[in-house]
Amino acid sequence: MTNADLQALREAGLASVISRQPRPRIGIYAMVRDGQGPAVRLAVARGLALRNDWPEAQASVDFTGMTDPATRPQLARLLDAVDRRAIHGIVAMSRTDLTHLNDYYEETLRRIHARGGFLALATAETDI
């Protein structure tokens, strides 16, 4: 899939949840390298949530660097929260908080959507 296709897939998942839950509870997520501070990434994601009036239920940061999204404990925690309906979606600054690889990104989007959740980004996939 192209970046534009991935953006369309992500936005379709977001629209589906928003149509059922206009003010979704969200989890903020950032992934950084060990020793790198997450403050800027979290602030940008929070800005998106505030602009959309989405209440933040929790924030999570993985300090793993660019690993397979399936191996990140804090992302797994947010996915579990989506499963339990504690949150409706995940907000991040950029798709690079998940992965820069299209195949892994598509797989992650499909996992989030299969759980009935969404991913919202402050920057578009085509901005990478």
Per DSSP bridges, beta strands 89-92 and 56-62 are unpaired
Report whether 16 contacts 118 (CB < 8 A): yes
Q: Which helix (H) or strand (E) holds 76?
A: helix 73-83
pLDDT at 128 (0 to 100): 52
Contact in structure between 98 and 105 (CB atoms under 8 Å) = yes
Predicted local distance difference test score (pLDDT) of residue 115: 93
Domain range summary for the chain, segments of one domain joined by +:
3-127
Topology, domain 3-127: Rossmann fold (3.40.50)
- Render pLDDT for 108-119 as a digit per residue (tens, 0 to 9): 999 999 999 999
pLDDT value, residue 22: 83
Give the pLDDT of residue 72: 87
Q: What is the pLDDT of residues 1-41, one digit of tens each?
A: 899 999 999 999 999 999 998 899 999 999 998 888 999 99
Determine which helix (DSSP H) or strand (DSSP E) holds 39, and give its type and residue range: helix 39-51
